[in-house]
């Protein structure tokens, strides 16, 4: 998996830099998501992984994508096909989306709680996290009975465990030490 991420990184970065320059980041993300879905289609993936020539694969892929790709998007797909990289489109999309979020100073935060949070709590939590993380926050709230009470917040590599379950686990570990 990390190998595919490494392969996808320069393509995602190049596409993102072009999209920013052309002021079409959202349009590029839509094109890449669509192309990624096409590449994951069982039939198309079989043709890509099979022994078809580059021109045949490119023609097939562009015909399937149709008008969903503009000229620059089609050129991007041609480059991917020439380099045998069409199957890394899902990783390119993931990295492109991360670059977009970083560019827009936005972060997706997962919040797990024992009970559903009220609208007021979500607003308050969002404001506090925006202040702490210094970026716009998009909350993904879920209910998890294992939390017992409190919250578990995951924002990228940062985890804030304010749950009773987490406190009990830390207490048990410190007592065993």
H/E stretch holding 158: strand 158-161
Q: Which domain holds residue 51?
A: 2-102
Same-domain status, 85 and 127: no
- pLDDT, residue 30, reads 92
Mean pLDDT, the chain, as a whole number? 84
**Tens place of pLDDT for every residue, the chain, 177 residues?**
568 778 888 988 998 899 888 888 889 999 989 988 888 888 877 777 776 777 888 888 888 888 888 888 888 888 888 888 888 889 999 999 988 888 878 788 888 888 888 889 889 988 988 888 887 888 888 888 888 788 888 887 788 888 777 777 888 888 887
Say which CATH number the domain at 93 has.
Answer: 1.10.520.20
Q: Are 77 and 62 in contact (CB under 8 A)?
A: yes
Give φ, ψ of 35 to 5 degrees.
-60, -35
Same-domain status, 22 and 98: yes
Same-domain status, 123 and 39: no
Q: CB 105: neighbour CB atoms within 10 A?
A: 11
């Amino acid at each position: 998996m990390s190998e595919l991420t490494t392969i996808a990184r320069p393509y995602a970065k190049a596409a993102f830099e072009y999209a920013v320059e052309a002021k079409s980041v959202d349009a590029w993300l839509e094109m890449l998501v669509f192309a990624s879905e096409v590449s994951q289609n069982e039939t198309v993936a079989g043709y890509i992984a099979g022994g078809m020539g580059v021109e045949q694969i490119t023609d097939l892929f562009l015909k399937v994508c149709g008008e969903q790709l503009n000229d620059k998007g089609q050129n991007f797909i041609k480059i991917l096909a020439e380099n045998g990289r069409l199957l890394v489109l899902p990783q390119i999309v993931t990295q492109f989306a991360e670059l977009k979020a970083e560019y827009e100073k936005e972060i997706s935060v997962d919040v797990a709680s024992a009970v559903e949070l009220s609208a007021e709590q979500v607003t308050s939590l969002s404001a506090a996290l925006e202040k702490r993380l210094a970026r716009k926050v998009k909350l993904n709230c879920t209910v998890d009975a294992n939390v017992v009470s409190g919250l578990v917040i995951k924002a990228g590599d940062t985890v804030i465990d304010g749950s009773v379950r987490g406190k009990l686990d830390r207490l048990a570990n410190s007592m065993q030490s």
